[in-house]
Amino acid sequence: MKLQRVAPFLMLFFGIQVLAQETEFDFKKDFRLFIQETTEAITIDGKLDEAVWSSADVGTNFWQKVPFFAEAADPLTEVMLTYDDQYLYVAARCYQTEDVIIQSLRRDEYWDNDGIAIILDPFNARINANLFGTSAVGVQWDALFSQTSGINADWSNKWFVETQITDEYWTAEFAIPFKILRYKTDMSEWGMNFVRNIQYCNEFHNWTAVPESFWPPNPAFAGALVWDKPPTKKSGNFNLIPYATAGVSKTVNEDTKLDWNLGMDARVAVGSSLNLDLTVNPDFSQIEVDELVTNLTRFNIFLPEKRTFFLENSDLFADYGQPPFRPFFSRTIGLDENREAVPILYGARLTGNLRPDLRMGVMNIHSLGKGESLGQNQSAFAMKKQFGRSFVQGMFLNRQAFSGGEVMKDDYGRNASIEAGYFSDDGKIGAWVAGHTSFKDGFDSDQNVYNVGFNFQNPSISFVTDFISLQENYFADMGFLARVENYDAVRDTTIREGFNLSYTSADYTIRPQEGNIARHVFGAENLLVYNSDWSFNERNNRFRYFLVLKSGQEFRLRYNLTSLHLLYPFAFTDATPLPSGDYAFSDINFEFESDERKAFSFEFGGSLGGFYNGNIKTFNVEALYRVQPWGRFSLGYQWNDLEFPDPYGSNLITAMLSKIEIGFSRNLLWTTLFQYVDQSDYMGINSRIQWRFAPMSDLFLVYFDNYDILNGLGGPRTIETNNRALVLKVNYWY
């Protein structure tokens, strides 16, 4: 029997074996920390010299999470909490005999620094949480966690932390305003956990016994924060965040322009569990530019959302669908059909909890027309009902075009989704089922998506299988679709095709408790795609082995077997496109990462093998030099050599990326990104100075210089300035 046919059976065999036992805990009963109100004034300086810290209940005896699961984690960590009418206070004492390791002074760069973070789940829902952390030198990290999409570190809010470093330990002191938290005033227990990073021994520790197979911040395994009395509702939670920008820009073949702009964001607490976000004439110029990706597939790629307005409770809208399709993807908002930015007039979002087990989200955004693009009004409504860690959720989306203030009745896109998921209390078993449909003028059939899946995981076994059936007339005007639009290189057109896709993956992990090896990972996966008429489209089998050392070094080896039927001619070169038909090829891929805790670190990788009817050779390398704690300097290079038989040509695709980050202090940061990607005929520089002159209040000075790289007729490549600008922006958080 051929290896490709055996692979799915091997994965099923490994996926149903349960080869390791875990200690079972009742986390809310076995891990409890009591909190008492204080009348003492607390100064946030990291010194822990207030009397309340001597009498507070102490959480200690953390559990080792990485490199392997063990109780009585060493070195010792102690955490304490108290509160007053306005703030939740957190104190931590982190014993450490080695010097702390700080790799960046940039906010939200948490996991590569010595640090500690608190995980708060005020509704005890066990699927969502707020995360607040600090490095040992007081650089903040705040994030949201959701069961389905993981950590979103782009979310930020206004809170306070300071640290102190001594010869025996370092300390941290947090003040988290109640008004930025969403909670019910009749709940006397919240879900809570802590995670500590210890870089010199490359370990993570948790206050509770989070199983090995789960990421440390997962609130499913939180203990209980027990209040002496439930926190009361806080009034006055109304924040205004006005901004002003001024800039000068020069575009090719156009005169230099002077621009200025004004706008405002606002956050309003509607009770203690709902939040209203408002934006008028928003500006996103401080958001970092995307790092361009060399794309060697036939399909478009997915880039994450970073704009602040869309982030809080974003999982209410964004967690529908699976990676090949998302009904809602906020990066489509504010862009026209050519992916060019259009002005947004206003936006409003109301999100949060109606009850501890019932969440709601409503959003409306109106963008103006630009050039030939019409104005758009985009709305979303979502509800999510929880049953423990399981849920049922539904969403409706509406995009409506406008022109001159009039509704374009035949230019709309609407989507409806319903999903249900079962997740066991111990986190080992998950199952989900979903149905989606779209509504668009001129289409009345083949407009649906169906999805069903299952996963199992414990410390040794990880198994997931998922099936998606997407019909060709399913549209996601406010979302993201992969594989649907197939480019025909001969006719220079795109044809929509539905597909039926199954994906299965299994991993077996060994974690030696002695020696230098942290874990061995043996895995396999199978991707199988059929066209909408159930004719064969693609099969990809992958076998992998990962070796991770306790020093942090990693080696990854993959072997891929691919068979596919190319529906339409497609070109990877400037020569004749590859014809439609059947292709079968294989390749081997390797990657290595050095110890990132060192001042100098590097990673490299590559692949070698077949590619359609030709061959592929790739190589990539990135080097990083770090000057603790203020500087990071990196340089990366990609090389992709594609060779096909005549008359299909060859192509050498290269890319270069360099990042420079200099932290003059925690509140003054200079970052520069240089990119060259010849696949996109693009070269660009983006350089940004950010001065945080008050909490969550910033001054940005941004310079960007983009170039088009053009091919002359029979001559050398030339560089032409495409866009150059210098922008100053100030925003202030009232």
3-state SS string for 682-718: EEEEEEEEEEEEECCEEEEEEEEEEEEEEECCCCCEE
Closest CA to 345 of 409, 269, 402: 402
* Per-residue pLDDT band at 521 (split at 50, 70, 90): very high
Instruction: Return d(Cα 601, Cα 493) in angstroms, integer.
Output: 45
Instruction: Note whether residue 579 is domain-resident.
Output: no
495 and 488 Cβ atoms separated by less than 8 Å: yes
**DSSP 8-state secondary structure symbol assigned to residue 243:** E
3-state SS string for 185-216: CCCCEEEEEEEEEECCCCEEEECCCCCCCCCC
pTM for the full predicted model: 0.84
Instruction: Note whether residue 35 is domain-resident.
Output: yes
Instruction: Note whether residue 521 is domain-resident.
Output: no
3-state DSSP assignment of residue 340:
coil
CA dihedral 38, 51, 157, 355 (to 10 degrees): -30
Cis check for the bond before 242: say yes or no (omega within 30 of 0).
no
**DSSP 8-state secondary structure symbol assigned to residue 516:** S
Q: Is the pLDDT of residue 629 over 70?
A: yes
Instruction: Return d(Cα 72, Cα 77) in angstroms, integer.
Output: 10
Q: Is the pLDDT of residue 403 over 50?
A: yes
Q: Are strands 480-481 and 325-326 parallel, antiparallel or unpaired?
A: antiparallel
In this predicted model, what pLDDT tens digit does every residue of 430-481 receive, in sequence order? 999 999 999 999 999 999 999 999 999 988 999 999 999 999 999 999 998 9
Closest CA to 258 of 269, 245, 271: 245
- Structural tokens at position 159: 């809170």
**Helix (H), strand (E) at residue 80:** strand 77-83
Closest CA to 575 of 619, 618, 613: 613
Report, as an integer, the average pLDDT of 564-588: 94
Instruction: Note whether residue 62 is domain-resident.
Output: yes
Q: What is the mean pLDDT of the chain?
A: 87
- In degrees, rounded to 5, the angle at the alpha carbon of residue 307 between the alpha carbons of residues 303 and 312 is 105
Instruction: Return d(Cα 413, Cα 722) in angstroms, integer.
Output: 33
Instruction: Return d(Cα 441, Cα 425) in angstroms, integer.
Output: 44
- In degrees, rounded to 5, the angle at the alpha carbon of residue 544 between the alpha carbons of residues 540 and 545 is 180
3-state DSSP assignment of residue 42:
coil
How many CB atoms lie under 10 A from the CB of residue 407?
Answer: 12
What DSSP letter does each residue of 590-634 carry, written as one string? EEEE--TTSSEEEEEEEEEEEETTEEEEEEEEEEEEEETTTEEEE
Return the pLDDT at 607. 96
Instruction: Note whether residue 335 is domain-resident.
Output: no
* Per-residue pLDDT band at 299 (split at 50, 70, 90): very low
Instruction: Return d(Cα 573, Cα 607) in angstroms, integer.
Output: 19
More confident of the two residues 704 and 511:
511
Q: How far is CA 257 from CA 248, 251, 260, 286, in A?
A: 6, 9, 10, 19
Q: How far is CA 705 from CA 675, 680, 710, in A?
A: 11, 16, 16
How many CB atoms lie under 10 A from the CB of residue 406?
Answer: 9
Return the pLDDT at 713. 35
In this predicted model, what pLDDT tens digit does every residue of 659-714 receive, in sequence order? 999 999 999 999 998 988 877 677 888 888 999 999 889 898 888 888 776 553 33
Enclosing domain of residue 200: 31-227
Please name the residues in contact with 708: beta carbons below 8 A apart, sequence gap of 6 or more: 252, 681, 682, 719, 720, 722
81 and 92 Cβ atoms separated by less than 8 Å: no
Please name the residues in contact with 405: beta carbons below 8 A apart, sequence gap of 6 or more: none
Instruction: Note whether residue 138 is domain-resident.
Output: yes
- Encode 192-215: b = buried (16+ Cβ within 10 Å), e = exposed: bbbbbbbbeebbbbbbbbbbbbbe
CATH number at residue 169: 2.60.40.1190
Which residue(s) pair with 382 in the sheet?
Answer: 361, 395
Instruction: Return d(Cα 90, Cα 229) in angstroms, integer.
Output: 17
- Structural domains of the chain, count: 1
Return the pLDDT at 16. 37
3-state DSSP assignment of residue 424:
coil
Instruction: Note whether residue 573 is domain-resident.
Output: no
Q: Is the pLDDT of residue 30 over 80?
A: yes
Return the pLDDT at 19. 34
Nearest-Å Rg of the Cα atoms of the chain is: 27
Instruction: Return d(Cα 487, Cα 470) in angstroms, integer.
Output: 18
Instruction: Note whether residue 411 is domain-resident.
Output: no
Instruction: Return d(Cα 173, Cα 135) in angstroms, integer.
Output: 11
- In degrees, rounded to 5, the angle at the alpha carbon of residue 652 between the alpha carbons of residues 647 and 654 is 160
Q: Is the pLDDT of residue 25 over 50?
A: yes
Please name the residues in contact with 302: beta carbons below 8 A apart, sequence gap of 6 or more: 323, 326, 329, 480, 482
How many CB atoms lie under 10 A from the CB of residue 268?
Answer: 14
3-state SS string for 429-442: EEEEEEEEEEEECC
Closest CA to 207 of 92, 89, 112: 92
* Per-residue pLDDT band at 307 (split at 50, 70, 90): low
In this predicted model, what pLDDT tens digit does every residue of 236-289 receive, in sequence order? 678 888 989 888 887 777 778 888 889 888 888 887 788 898 989 887 654 555
